[in-house]
Structure 1
Amino acid sequence: MKKIISLMATLAFSFALAQIPTLEVENQKKHPVILQDVKIDTKILGNLATTTATYTFYNPSNRILEGTLTFPLPEGVSVSGYALDINGKLRNAVPVPKERAKEVFESIEKRNVDPGIIEKVEGNNFRTRIYPLPEKGNRTIQITYHQELKNVASDYQYFLSFANATTIPKFNLKVWISETVNVPKILENPDGSFAFQKQGNQWIAEINKTDFRPNESLKVTVPKNQNSSNVVLQKASGDKFYFAANVGLDFPVKEKPKSQKIAIIWDNSYSGSKRNRDKELQFLDAYFADNKNVSVSLYLLNNAFENAQEFNVSQGNWSELKNRILNLKYDGGTDFGALKEINGVEEYLLFSDGISNFGDLTMKFKKPLNSITSTPTSDFNLLKLLANQSGGNFINLNEQDTQSALKTYKRLPVRFLGFKENPNMQELFPNIGSVISEPVNIFGISSGNVGKLTAVFSVGNDRFETPVDFSQAQQLENWQIAQFWAQRKINELELNSTRNRQEIKNISEQFGVVSKNTSLIVLDDINDYVRYRITPPQELLADYQKIVSQNKGRVLEERKNLLSKAFDKTRELKTWWNTEFKPVEKKEYPRVSNQSRVDAPAPPNAVREVQASPVANYDMVASNSAKLEETEARPKGKITLVDVESTAEYMKDFQNLQSADAIYQKYLENRSKHEKQVTYYFDISKLLFKKGNKELSLKVLSTLAELDLENEELYKTIYYLLKQRGHYDKELWITQKILEWRPFDAQSHRDHALALIDNKRPQEALNIYKSLLYQEFTDEISMRDNGIEEILIMEINNILKQNKNVDGSKIDDRLKADLPVDIRVVINWNKDNTDIDLWVTDPKGEDCSYGHKSTQIGGRLSNDFTQGFGPEQFLLKKAVKGKYKIKTNFFGERQNILSGPATVMAEVYLYYSDGRQERKIAVFQSQKENKRESDSKILIGEFEF
């Protein structure tokens, strides 16, 4: 009896910097999750601030929910603390490698237990996942982050947004400001009673309300205190101290010479429409008022890089260029790998959020590039890297007004050169030679009292010195200067996150700071900390150490068992292949009855031949064996794929449009009505491809990458269509990203190996297959993907058969077998916790399916995957004459509104691994979005012999 997968609703929480979360529950309007209790504590010292926000959510519905909260933090800020309520008490999270945290979370989640994680996704965006939010119950999370406040005139400014806040049953806000003589000023006040009172050496303001809706956000200016020390210390080990030194730049900053020929690179990918274009245009207004005569090349960046137009700005009149920018269309993913140097240009202005989701940055600009961003979800580090490498400036319009942004642009970059006296200091951040901005906080590790020092800076060829008095440093016990230091070090390392991956991981784990490589996780059961080898928080450490020894030896045993199963499966496949199957007369065979209406007709679909061409839905592997003989008794086969047509209502608007351009314009016109509907992009991309416009088809398809951050389900959909259409270079990049996010999934490794084969790199692919079967990448995989070894064995041996120059010496001989077959079908899907079934009906009328895995003529079906991403495989060594039908059945589908319905890729082969191998690929989606497809099977193709 098949297991029916329970469906789970997912909360989509929208959360801007430090604002009250706006909660949306898709398809749950009658039972919205309620933000029941908010408590925010902020401590400010000079321009250093630590904020801890505690939120309690109430789920009034009668179903368990999974919560997802994604929020940006400003430039240079990361999450440094996370806690989740366990049995009514907040439990602190512990740092774990990012991919490991995700693997553990998903493994435990399947048992309906209470894990919680917070991770960093693309850009400076953070995501927390909480499960379960109990029916008619509460869950509480707590998030802590440190930030360095910016200069505003002669003060520092702290801002806490309460934009779009609704009435909150319980609300508490408290702000402590230390070591300042003058009273802080409240520029925006959430409530008239919020005011600062002096208590000792602190200013404290607090409100405690019920059924409260903030009138406005909180904006506080903190006066700089010239009399207090500008160096603070926190004790480290031995005689070492972590320090933070606030240094003023009291020297003149030079302006750079004006450029006569510039290039504006305007990111007009789909996400570009979310930027603050008003701020960007205001900046350009100021720029051209200051640079009145300049030649401008406008380039557009999306999934491609194109020259849009040339302009000559005279006397500051840039109206023609402005109108061109105002009328741009925003579509497609973002590929920084497409960027190129432009001849004759003296300087670049790049307007982008810096998130490259369709390719990697591969170049360094030789001329100065000024990166300009206006959205809080940006990848600040990548934009800084582009500017710093080229000698340009990074301009953050989220935090600067137009005039201060123009001032930043015009100046020559200021670089920190270290301390003149060169005392015993370690790990200074910013790094020596780095470009800096005001206010300058220098973090590092020092020994004892190092006295009065001199910080050295450079502007162009000039050097400047500023005194820093460590002899007046103040040692603090209740401030995490170490975490500020660690956060700054991680920010520097993440400028080249690939090269510095291990060091980022080490620092993140040591100091509990969330990074690209490290997440924070909370587990419910002490035995899960033991099982997954995660050191628990302090209060559980003693119990953990008592039972940790019970788990020794388990991992090695699992690996041995998996490899042993692979040897057994190879022997089983050999036995099957060597068995002679004798078909009998056609008769009625029993049908599986434990799925409702299995004999219901498939939806009407237009059957079409796929013509052999470079853009067809398959590729042909030419025979390398001219000596291959075909007996008369062996019929020649043919594959016919079925075009599974979309039944979506929006397709009616496109049915009478003939040209690709007309279809694309209608797509843009209607997009706002279907903005988050994955099927819309899928269907229109498919339609444009049919019309022969591969460029527009790819642009629409790449837009799927912009709908969410690090969403493997969306990326798998993109991967399937790239593979089908022959975009093998992009297929390789997409599968590499999925593998980075989910290295614990066997399917992630297999997908990347298949992409390597498509890119004619079979040796690398073989190495991946070997590591899969030898379990070299994870310890838990054998429990998640039991049965996948049958598919891997077929593909390993196909590589060895098709590529005579490949070194197969590291593959155990017990895994090698020559297993050519007339028919091979493999289905894969993009959603975890999903059950999709493969059915093949032979000319005798016999079904091969999960309940009837072998047929009279020798058909064989692999393991039935009821969770995970598949795959499932059908094999037939020797085909008999007649027609074979291939169908799929959507038995149980995990709901996830954002990534749309399940997408299936079926790889259909003739003469697999016998030298005449032919492949065609079908990619299609569940026709009933977010509903179980248990009432019908979808016909996807036929073989005819």
Structure 2
Amino acid sequence: MTHSLMLRSLTLLLALAGPAAHALSPALPPARLLEPRFFVPDASQPLTLQRVDVHALLAGSQAQTRIELVVRNPNPRQLEATLEFPLADGQSVTGFALDVRGEMVGAVPVPKDKGRQVFDDISRRRVDPALLERTAGNNFKLRIYPVPAGGERRVQLQIAETLQPGAQGRVQYRLPLDFGQPVAQFDARLDLRGATRPQPAGALAGAETFTRGDEASLRVQRRDWRPREPLALSWAAADGEPVVVQTHDDRAYAYAEIAAADTRAAPRLPREVQIAWDASGSGAGRDHAREFALLDALFAAARDVRVRLVVARDAAEPAQAFDVRGGDWAALRRTLEKLAYDGASSPAAWAAGLADARSGGQSLSLLFSDGLANWPGDGATPPAGPVFAINAAQRADLARLRRLAEAGGGRLVDLNTLDTTAALAALTQPGLRLADLSAVGADELVAQSIHPEHGRLVIAARLTAPEARVTLTLVDAQGRRSQRQLLLKAPAPAAATADDATLPLAARRWAELRVAELEADRQRHRAQIRRLGEQFRLLSAETSLIVLDELADYVRYEIVPPTAAMRAAYQQQLAQLGTRRQAGRDQQLESLARRFAEREAWWARDFTKTPPPPPPQSQPRPSPAPVAAVAERRVSPAAMPPTPRDAAPVAAPVPPPPLMRAPAPAPAPAPAPAPAPAPAAPLLASMVAPPAAPKPAGEADAAPAASIALRAWEPDAPYVRRLREAGDADRYAVYLDERPGYVASTAFFIDAAEIFFARGQRELAVRVLSNLAEMELENRHILRILAYRLQQADMATLAVPLLERVRELAPDEPQSHRDLALALAPTQPQRAVDLLWDVASGRWDWRFADIDLIALAELNALTARTPGLDLSRVDPRLRRNLPLDLRAVLSWDADNTDIDLWVTDPDGEKAYYAHRLTRQGGAMTRDFTGGYGPEEFALRQAKPGRYEVRAQFFGHRQQLVSPYTTLMLWLATGFGTDAQKDQRVVLRLSGRGEQVLVGTFDVAPPAAASR
């Protein structure tokens, strides 16, 4: 077992890997792990590690390790701590706990999307939550909030592992201690049971040792210590085959490790080798020396080989052919050594590289990858023949690689646990495999692999009778079939306390193996994966573990608390939720109907298009007031009626204080400014003024001739000039030269991709942009940015799967549903309508004011342009299209961030958060101060002239925030009509007070339009 922990700047990063791994693979992307990933202006000192306590219980082949960390924040501002770590194959997190008011509180399982929502909601209220989630493959993230200013937080992680004996028949346990800084206090205790001839090594050498019979205890204590060597211990493996049958929740589960001598046939050396080489950004973290050593051994044995190489990133590159003669593969090696690891990881690209995979001893198909897929294409057709998946990375999705390989009769070759000789034998010498697994008296049988690993087959089952017989059908290297049988007997149910958090080994291993099997087709089995995760307290693609501060939070979010005493009170309070929830749904629909009626009244009203009156002659002509200086106070969210979603609290959470306006640069003065508006006047009061000549809803005026001009986005970063000035043949090399300094910057990849797009190098632009998917696993903000930019490039086929993933990660945010709906509208209008109705009718957090009204306008516009859609779910009062001459909608990527949309009309009058209705009828929706937007400007009848659209960064409440906020602005003319034209642009703002002109609408006079 291998663990390591590193602390850098404001982020803690904990690395846990397998027994043969180094403390931290030196090939891991250093910027991800070593550089600050977040920008906090008033936090300049790194978090420090005050204490580390390790307690490991080692019994037979099982290891249970508890790691307790005390983290100190020396800064004057409370911060969120993030710990990221990978686990090795066979390891699992079995629990964690956080100190809450001096007491360690254990975590409880929760659906993954709900866990993230609850953590974010509670942290906004400055209360103590902690969340542990699996991101992708064997990667995990622990979030703790807050680490108080000048204070400490204590957290415990519990990790279980099944240790496998090595070649000499000894079990090995390793705990690397490379913390990246001195540890003020370090204590470690290892307790062994049933072990013989224990041999300590590394930092454990010289430890105090106490023995009693076949039990031993070793202890190490250090102060102000910077360790260089791991804690290491080995002991002789016990004889026999471990078979464990245990009861959990009145069901019996069995776990067995069956000795299977992996006798092999004579080597079958290939004459053709097909290689799919994953050269995505994460591929830089693989141990290429081990990969090259395996290829060197393969070609030395095969001698003369024809090689087909496909380099796979976000897409597969054209195949290259190489002839290896006499084992000399120098040309191929040089090609591999020169590869740039760049772009996202696509299963479709892997499949394209393995398209010629076929059975037979003359052909061999190899995939070199970490299995961390993050680019659309997961449903690619699998190869027809056997594939050997080669892993040499610490951060990997071994379950994905194993499934891909074994589906066609191949196998996973993990170079972290196999030396070159053993790996070559796995490739060229067929061995024993499990052909069938059946039982009488048991169901849900599952095997970790169909091939023996470390000389053992690992299986698990759920018993359906007091006694069961499990039959394994094996096929050896010569094709001979044989059978092994296991007789299993369920034990009497074991007594357990109401708060017992210890999951029996057999139940835990069965659930882990079953979840891994189901994740082969995750979309089909999401509900089952979630149920198993919640029942067995497992981290999975669908479940996380969370710690909350108090009972009220468990009730508010309907999460079963960890103790029996809390659960009794929880059930009592939970019974009161149903009635209030239904009342909230009814109130939301009535609120939407009322506000939509007010919008209809505004739409039907004829606003004046005459020039504004000149200022009085006796007074000097006033200059337009800077927006930041307008005497307007934001409406506190506390004064707004809560409209919580189903999963949100019954009582609205206490919102943070409103952001206070600060002076900001004013836009350039307009030629004829309108009188300063009265900011206290509400928009809707103006909307419902008696219309001069009402129109039937849905009837549009003749659309004026209008055009959209987007201002070219011209970032001023130092790398931009080099990229612009480089020739097409050299630009990618310049990009690769600059890339190491910006691997954690979304801005760099967006800016660089923009230049490649502008120069017509579309494939390279997409590759560069796809690096956003590699930057931080399952970061919904980054995935949104990526999808927005792909939509701007008319690449909806790539954007839609990314937005589907965002919706899975954040179903509590209405923007997730709306973004997906808008991307689907051209190709799947019915689903788009259904998603938009979900937004319009949903009960969302107070931060998302008016998004329901915006989504309803988009729903009606889509149905007007697409006859025949099913609107049976939509309330009849709300099925009315209100066409617009001009529309601008602003969205952004950062939560807890306030961006403002400004639109200046030809008269110089500005529509913005404090002046939401202009003289000619331009209407602005309510201000979004809590993140994402959208903010919408709408104008039914556009006066001829130029309309300028601007965006301004106002401020944020982020605890951890990128110094940049990325915006997406959608401009439309003829909205809701057959003549609708749309343009989208993605750009960014760098900080508070920055303003940017995004684009313009130019509306021609009627005479010019007629010409």
What is the TM-score when the length of structure 2 is the normalising length?
A: 0.84
Aligned twin of 2:832: 765
Paired position in structure 1 for 2:225: 212
After TM superposition, give the deviation of residue 214 of structure 1 in Å. 2.4
Corresponding residue number in structure 1 for 2:760: 692
Structure 2 alignment gaps of length 5 or more: 1-7, 25-32, 496-501, 615-621, 631-660, 670-698, 1005-1011
Counterpart of 2:3 in structure 1 is none
Q: 2:902 aligns with which of 839, 858, 864?
A: 839
Structure 2 partner of 1:302: 313
Deviations 1:509-562 (A, max 9, x none): 111111110000110021010111111001522332343334332222222222
Q: Pick the aligned partner of 1:886 from 949, 967, 981.
A: 949
Counterpart of 2:742 (choices 668, 674, 685) is 674
- CA separation of 1:573 and 1:256: change in aligned 2, threshold 3 A: farther
Distance 1:399 1:602 in 2: 66
Contact kept, 8 Å, 1:529 with 1:544, in 2: the verdict is yes
Cα deviation, residue 914, structure 1: 2.3
**Which residue of the partner structure matches residue 15 of structure 2?**
16
The farther-off stretch of 541-550 and 485-494 is 541-550
Letter in 2 for 1:458: V
Q: Provide Cα deviations, 1:640-689, integer angstroms capped at 9, x if missing partner.
A: 111131011222323432x3332211011121122222211111110111
1:616 — aligned with what? none
Would you say the 8 A contact 1:419–1:455 is kept in 2?
A: yes
Counterpart residue number, 2:802 = 734
Establish whether residue 812 from structure 1 lines up as the match of residue 837 from structure 2.
no
Q: Secondary structure at the match of 2:732?
A: helix
**CA-based RMSD:** 2.9
1:350-369 equivalences under 5 Å are: 350-361=367-378, 362-369=380-387
Alpha carbons 1:562, 1:782 under 8 Å: kept: no
* 1:651 to 2:724 alignment: no
| Residue type at the aligned position of 1:286 | A
Runs of at least 5 residues in structure 1 that lack an aligned partner in the other structure:
1-8, 604-627
* Distance apart, 1:312 and its partner CA: 1.4
Amino acid at match of 2:45: H
2-side partners of 1:563 and 1:434: how far apart?
57
User: Does 1:754 pair with 2:813?
Assistant: no
| Cα gap change, 1:706 to 1:424, in 2 (>3 Å) | same
Is contact 2:263–2:431 with CA below 8 Å preserved after alignment?
no
**Residue in 2 aligned with 1:600?**
666
Q: Contact (CA 8 Å) 1:24, 1:32: kept in 2 or not?
A: no
| Greater mean alpha carbon deviation, residues 550-559 or residues 586-595 | 586-595
- TM-superposed CA distance for 1:435, in Å, is 7.3
Residue aligned with 2:709, SS: strand
| TM-superposed deviation, 1:195 | 5.5
Distance change >3 Å, CA 185–CA 165, structure 1 → 2: farther
Contact 2:86-2:139 at 8 Å conserved across structures: yes
Aligned-partner Cα distance in 1 for 2:440–2:704 = 84
Alpha-carbon separation, structure 1, partners of 2:106 and 2:913: 44
Distance in 2, Cα, partners of 1:630 & 1:581 = 13
Given that 2:927 and 2:935 are in contact with CA atoms closer than 8 Å, whether structure 1 keeps it comes out as: yes
Counterparts of 1:251 and 1:331, CA distance in 2: 39
Separation in 2, partners of 1:87, 1:829 = 37
Q: Would the aligned equivalents of 1:173 and 1:208 in 2 still touch at CA under 8 Å?
A: yes
AA partner of residue 440 (structure 1): L
Q: Which stretch of the first structure deviates more once superposed, 521-530 or 781-790?
A: 781-790
Superposed displacement of residue 23, structure 1: 8.4
* C-alpha spacing 1:16/1:649, structure 2 compared with 1 (3 Å): same
Match of 2:694 in 1: none
Q: Which moved more, 1:198-207 or 1:46-55?
A: 198-207
- Alpha-carbon deviations, 1:109-133, whole Å to 9, x = none? 1101111110011111111111111
CA positional deviation for 1:258: 3.0
State how many pairs are aligned.
896
Over residues 314-369 of structure 1, what are the superposed CA-to-partner deviations in whole Å (9 max), with x where a residue is unaligned? 22111111111111122111111233253476331000111111113321211111
The structure 2 residue matched to 1:488, chosen from 495, 509, 513, is: 513
**Contact 2:701 2:941 survives alignment (8 Å):** no
Which amino acid is the alignment partner of residue 94 of structure 1? V
Q: How does 1:141-152 map to 2 (within 5 A)?
A: 141-152=155-166
| CA apart distance, 1:377 | 1.1
User: Which deviates the most, 315-324 or 670-679?
Assistant: 670-679
Residues 479, 853 of structure 1: CA spacing in aligned structure 2 closer, same or farther, 3 A cutoff?
closer
Match of 2:82 among 47, 58, 68: 68
Preserved CA contact (<8 Å) 2:357 2:387: no
Query: Alignment partner of 2:94: what SS?
Result: strand
Contact 2:463 / 2:490 at 8 angstroms: preserved in 1? Answer: no
Aligned counterpart in structure 1 of residue 863 of structure 2, from 793, 800, 807:
800
Deviation of 1:38 (Å): 0.8
- Looking at structure 2, the residues matched to 886 and 413 of structure 1 have their Cα atoms a distance apart, in angstroms, of 68
Q: Cα distance 1:571–1:473, how it changes in 2: closer, same or farther (>3 A)?
A: closer
In structure 2, C-alpha distance between the alignment counterparts of 1:385 and 1:602, rounded to whole Å:
61
- Tell me the distance in 2 between the aligned counterparts of 1:98 and 1:735: 17
Change (3 A) 1:825 1:325: same
Offset, 1:96 = 0.5
Distance 1:897 1:629, change over 3 A: closer
DSSP 3-state at the match of 1:84:
strand
Alpha carbons 2:437, 2:473 under 8 Å: kept: yes
Deviation at 1:852, TM superposition (A): 0.3
The answer to whether the 8 Å contact 2:247/2:490 transfers is no
1:614 alignment counterpart:
none
Can you list the C-alpha shifts for 1:396-421, whole angstroms capped at 9, x where unaligned? 1122221222222234364335678x
The CA deviation string for residues 747-778 of structure 1, in whole angstroms up to 9 with x for no partner, is: 000000011014x2111111111222333xxx
Distance verdict in 2 for CA 1:191–1:359, change over 3 Å: same
State yes or no: 1:161 paired with 2:187.
no
Q: CA deviation at 1:261?
A: 1.5
Three-state SS of the structure 1 residue aligned to 2:788 is helix
C-alpha separation in 1, matches of 2:138 and 2:427: 23
Residues 1:858 and 2:921 aligned together: yes
CA contact (8 A) 2:135 2:777 kept: yes
Quick check: 1:174 aligned with 2:184? no
1:919 aligns with 2:982: yes
Aligned-partner Cα distance in 1 for 2:780–2:242: 46
Q: Secondary structure at the match of 1:109?
A: helix
Report SS of the residue matched to 1:582. Answer: coil
Percent identical residues: 31
Equivalent position to 1:235, from 230, 235, 247 = 247
Q: Which range is displaced more, 431-440 or 241-250?
A: 431-440
* Paired position in structure 2 for 1:4: none
Equivalent residue runs for 1:191-590 within 5 Å = 191-194=204-207, 196-226=209-239, 230-236=242-248, 241-250=252-261, 252-254=263-265, 257-338=268-349, 339-340=351-352, 341-343=354-356, 346-361=363-378, 362-412=380-430, 414-416=432-434, 422-430=439-447, 438-446=455-463, 455-459=472-476, 461-465=479-483, 480-481=504-505, 482-538=507-563, 539-586=565-612, 587=614
Deviation at 1:900?
5.7
After superposing the two structures, state which structure 1 stretch, 27-36 or 509-518, moved more: 27-36
User: Distance between the aligned counterparts of 1:479 and 1:857, measured in 2?
Assistant: 68
Q: Is the 8 A contact 1:151 1:439 kept in 2?
A: no
CA pair 215-821 structure 1, distance change in 2 beyond 3 A:
closer
C-alpha displacement at 1:583, in angstroms?
A: 3.7
Q: Distance in 1 between matches of 2:387 and 2:241?
A: 37
Instruction: Provide the C-alpha distance between the structure 1 equivalents of 2:964 and 2:291, rounded to a whole number of angstroms.
Output: 37
Q: Which residue pairs with 2:891 in the alignment?
A: 828
CA separation in 1, counterparts of 2:481 and 2:797?
A: 47
Q: For 2:513, give the aligned amino acid.
A: R
Counterparts of 2:449 and 2:998 in 1: how far apart (Å)? 64
Aligned to 1:88: 102
Would the aligned equivalents of 2:926 and 2:935 in 1 still touch at CA under 8 Å?
yes
Question: What CA distance in whole angstroms lies between the structure 2 residues aligned with 1:640 and 1:37?
Answer: 58
Residue 910 of structure 1: how far off its partner (Å): 0.9
CA distance in 1, matches of 2:760, 2:465: 71
C-alpha distance in 2, partners of 1:444/1:785? 47
1:661 aligned residue (712, 724, 729): 729
Distance in 1 separating the partners of 2:592 and 2:915: 22
Query: Does the CA-based 8 Å contact 1:13-1:24 persist in structure 2?
Result: no
Give the residue type in structure 2 aligned to 1:806. L
1:620 aligns with none
